[in-house]
């Protein structure tokens, strides 16, 4: 009881500090004229939106993605894409950032919830077909009310059917798709379209098996003939002022743990072990 109250108080009181710490960057492009007041205004809107629209992603994750978008110079091409939107909670917040920078937010979803799980997909056992269903009308309503609908485009359908038609450059993609099969489809289609310093953020950062895709030498060799890019925040999420030790399966017995905000890779990153001194003379 006490620890739950303590956690909530910390959560609310730390909002302005989190906003200013996360957006404290000398790289935010000067064209966006984002002074301290505007940063706080944006951050508070994003925080409130996560209370207004049902979502399991944190405003800190949204701010972290917002930061990367604000840091990209305006002449770098690329859309912002969300794969998996549910009720549009994160999309509403990303749309506010897209309005500032004048980029398009493209939202891919079935708008019917999750697909039937593939028996080979280890994540599928945790979900049912139709989980996390938000209809297109519901998502549009939420974004119109709390975000900037003018920045948004909606692509309805299963990723395996819609993604082969993707053909524009991507600056940042947010993958909140739960299933391994969906993650695999998204990465395979997105990676070739990411700009040189383009980002992929994921939400399933607490699952080591899921994160392993970004370190798998086999996966990257087979699909892209390259070494893996790695993942910042793998296993714990980005360290944005919360307390989490893990593993995820033990979170219920640690009432003040809160695994934080997403993990990301970037097109130019590397997550590859190459030091094998015993093989030098082989």
Using CB under 6 A as the criterion, which residues of the chain lie in contact with ligand SAM when the complex forms?
55-57, 84-86, 89-90, 109-110, 113-115, 132, 134, 158-159, 176-179, 182
Query: What is the Cα–Cα distance from 265 to 232, expressed in whole angstroms?
Result: 6
- Whether omega before 247 lies within 30 degrees of 0, making that bond cis, reads yes
State the nearest-atom distance from the C-beta of 157 to ligand SAM, in Å. Answer: 7
Cβ proximity of 85 and 182 under 8 Å:
no
State the nearest-atom distance from the C-beta of 38 to ligand SAM, in Å. Answer: 23
The nearer residue to ligand SAM, 42 or 114, going by C-beta atoms, is: 114
State the nearest-atom distance from the C-beta of 56 to ligand SAM, in Å. Answer: 6
Cβ proximity of 79 and 170 under 8 Å:
yes
State the nearest-atom distance from the C-beta of 195 to ligand SAM, in Å. Answer: 22
Query: What is the Cα–Cα distance from 76 to 171, expressed in whole angstroms?
Result: 8
The nearer residue to ligand SAM, 121 or 197, going by C-beta atoms, is: 121
Strands, E assignment, 123-238: 152-156, 170-175, 194-202
Could you give the C-alpha distances from 28 to 73, 163, 170, in angstroms and in order?
Answer: 8, 31, 19
The nearer residue to ligand SAM, 59 or 215, going by C-beta atoms, is: 59
The nearer residue to ligand SAM, 61 or 72, going by C-beta atoms, is: 61
State the nearest-atom distance from the C-beta of 75 to ligand SAM, in Å. Answer: 29
Cβ proximity of 113 and 132 under 8 Å:
yes
The nearer residue to ligand SAM, 143 or 171, going by C-beta atoms, is: 143
């Amino acid at each position: 009881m006490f620890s739950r109250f303590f956690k909530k108080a910390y959560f609310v009181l730390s909002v302005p500090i989190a906003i200013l710490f996360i957006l404290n960057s000398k790289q935010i492009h000067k064209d966006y004229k984002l002074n301290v007041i505007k940063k706080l205004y944006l951050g508070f809107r994003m925080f409130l939106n996560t209370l207004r629209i049902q979502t399991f992603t944190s405003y800190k994750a949204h701010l972290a993605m917002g930061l990367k978008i604000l840091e990209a110079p305006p002449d770098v091409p690329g859309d912002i894409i969300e794969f998996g939107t549910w009720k549009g909670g994160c999309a509403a917040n990303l749309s506010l950032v897209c309005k500032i920078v004048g980029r398009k937010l493209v939202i891919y979803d079935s708008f019917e919830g999750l697909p039937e799980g593939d028996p080979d997909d280890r994540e599928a056992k945790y979900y049912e077909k139709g989980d996390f269903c938000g209809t297109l009308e519901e998502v549009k309503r939420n974004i119109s009310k709390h975000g900037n609908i003018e920045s948004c485009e909606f692509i309805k359908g299963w990723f395996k059917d819609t993604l082969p038609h993707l053909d524009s450059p991507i600056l940042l993609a947010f993958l909140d798709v739960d299933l391994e099969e969906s993650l695999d489809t998204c990465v395979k289609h997105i990676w070739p379209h990411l700009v040189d310093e383009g980002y992929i953020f994921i939400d399933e950062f607490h699952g080591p098996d899921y994160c392993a895709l970004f370190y798998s030498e086999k996966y990257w060799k087979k699909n892209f003939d390259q070494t893996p890019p790695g993942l910042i925040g793998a296993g714990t999420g980005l360290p944005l002022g919360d307390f989490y030790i893990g593993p995820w399966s033990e979170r219920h017995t640690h009432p003040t743990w809160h695994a934080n905000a997403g993990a990301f890779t970037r097109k130019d990153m590397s997550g590859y072990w190459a030091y094998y001194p015993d093989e030098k003379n082989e």
